[in-house]
Amino acid sequence: MTAISESQHGTTGTSAQVSMVFDLNKCMGCQTCSIACKVLWTREEGEEHHWWMKVNTQPGLGSPKGWEQMGGGWKNGRPVPGHQPTRAEFGGGWEFNYDEVFYGGKGRNVHLRPTDTGDGSTKWGMNWDEDQGGGEYPNAYYFYLPRLCNHCTHPVCVAACPTGAMYKRPEDGAVLRDEEICQGSRFCMEACPYKEIYFNYARGIAQHCILCFPRLEEGVAPACARQCPGRLVFVGSADDPAGPIHRLVHEWEVALPLHPEYGTEPNIFYVPPLSPYRLHDDMSIDYETPRIPPEYLESLFGPKVHTALARIKSELDTVRSGGTSEILDTLIVYRWHELFGPYTTDPATLDRRPETVAVQIGTKPA
């Protein structure tokens, strides 16, 4: 008889934590990361609306629609009830009028269009409000925010799971789910304050970003990071004092977690975006005021965002006046492999072993 122990309902100690840093000053919103993830992991029926990796435009309602108002996370050491996002709030999973266009003999005058499935899912999508942003002309602004599971140090999703299907892997800190044990009760979806968990309607289980752990095990960086043409996604241990993630996060403090007030201690960090200066009504430049309101950035990244931005600006000034900057040299990434720590293996050089991977996803270690 398998007893389900109390410890499986909480968090477990990790001996190592794989972290990522996204430099938002280099992200161009191309969604290559989103597509790299989509084609690798979520192409099956039931996963149509899954975007384990997606890039939202900020300010915006994001994905699922209005996720920052959906609750979840920890407050004073207690889990906060949250809303379970619906398929319509994620958007996507759209149906199209393929029959009408391709088989109805009307191909010349009927155009391909999404058909409303009745649940409103064709009224939103992971990049529905792309490039809308905020502010008024001539001071409109926006930036891109690539989002995925934060593989949190205190994952409230794990604490909310009644079956013990969810766990945090000690060897790399990936927050995973044993798909054989998951009963699809979706308390994890409610509890996650980042709304990073999706329901697979066809299989009746919840799913989310797996940190590409089968790739990590082979020394390959996660697909979103490796495919990013902007060379802005660092992967590695935040505990390696010589590695770029440790230096960016802990030493230089220019990379910050998203919504630290949610209390889950994310392991995905962001270098916050610099912005152009505001323009006065007469179109002269207001050198005192950045176009992205600092209070908006604080609402996303917490109060440390101000010192982080000041630090990057002062490094820029140093370089402009002929000096050098280790921080900027790190963020520029002169050599691509420097992004990936120990995960530089080219996946094209590996034997493909899909069966092994499938078994690993479905099995929580004893």
Partner 1 sequence: MRVTAVTDPLDSPTDPGWEAVPREAVPLAPVPLDAQPNAYIRAAWEDRPYGLVSGADVAVARNNGRLFVRIEWSGSTGPATNGSLPEFTDSAGVFFPAPGGSGGNAGPPATIGTRESPVTLWLWRDLLPVQRSLPAARALLGCGPGVFRPLSETDGAKSPSDNSSISATSQREGLRWAVVISGDAPPADAPRMGLAVWDGANDERAGIAAVTHQWIELEAGA
134 backbone φψ class: left, alpha, beta (φ>0; ψ -120 to 50): beta
Near ligand SF4 by CB under 6 A: residue from 79, 92, 146, 222:
146
Q: Taking CB within 5 to 8 Å according to partner kind, which of partner 1, ligand SF4, none is near residue 78? A: partner 1
Residue 182 binds ligand SF4, judged by CB under 6 A? no
Q: Can you point out the beta strands (E) in 242-325?
A: 256-257, 268-271, 277-279, 285-290
Name which position in 87, 169, 208, 291 contacts ligand SF4 (CB under 6 A).
Answer: 208
Q: Which of 8, 9, 30, 171 binds ligand SF4 (CB under 6 A)?
A: 30
| Helix (H) / strand (E) containing 175 | strand 175-177
DSSP tag of 268: E
Shortest distance in whole angstroms from residue 27 CB to ligand SF4: 3
Our finding on whether 47 is near ligand SF4 (CB under 6 A) is: no
The residue (of 119 and 326) whose beta carbon lies closer to partner 1 is: 119
Which of 37, 126, 152, 339 contacts ligand SF4 by CB under 6 A?
A: 152
Cα separations in angstroms, 256 against 246, 247, 345: 12, 12, 27
Site membership for ligand SF4, residue 165 (CB under 6 A): no
Q: Tell me the closest approach of the beta carbon of residue 162 to ligand SF4, in angstroms.
A: 15
Closest CB 308 distance from ligand SF4, rounded Å: 19
| Token pair in block for residue 260 | 């630290």
Contact of residue 150 among ligand SF4, partner 1, none (CB under 5-8 Å per partner type): ligand SF4
CA–CA separation, 136 vs 147, rounded Å? 26
Residues that bind partner 1 (CB under 8 A): 1-5, 9, 45-46, 78-82, 84, 86-88, 117-120, 156, 159-164, 180-181, 183-187, 190-191, 199, 201-204
230 interface partner picked from ligand SF4, partner 1, none, CB below 5 to 8 A per type: ligand SF4
- Which residue reads 């979520």 in tokens? 42
Q: At what angle do helices 305-320 and 294-301 cross, to 10 degrees?
A: 120
d(CA 244, CA 235): 9
> Should residue 192 be labelled a site residue for ligand SF4 when binding is judged by CB under 6 A?
yes
Closer by beta carbon to ligand SF4, 139 or else 166: 166
Closest among 179, 181, 214, 176 to 200, alpha carbons compared: 179
Choices 30-38, 99-107, 235-243, 329-337; region in contact with ligand SF4 by CB under 6 A: 30-38
Q: Which stretch binds ligand SF4 (CB under 6 A): 6-14, 117-125, 228-236, 350-358?
A: 228-236
**Cα dihedral angle (172, 169, 254, 126), rounded to 10 degrees?**
110
Residue 283: DSSP 8-state: S
Q: 119-140: buried (b, 16+ CB within 10 Å) or exposed (e) per residue?
A: eebbebbbbbbbeebbbeeebe
Contacting residues toward ligand SF4, per CB under 6 A: 27-33, 55, 144, 146, 149-152, 155-157, 175, 192, 194, 196-197, 208, 228, 230, 232-233, 264
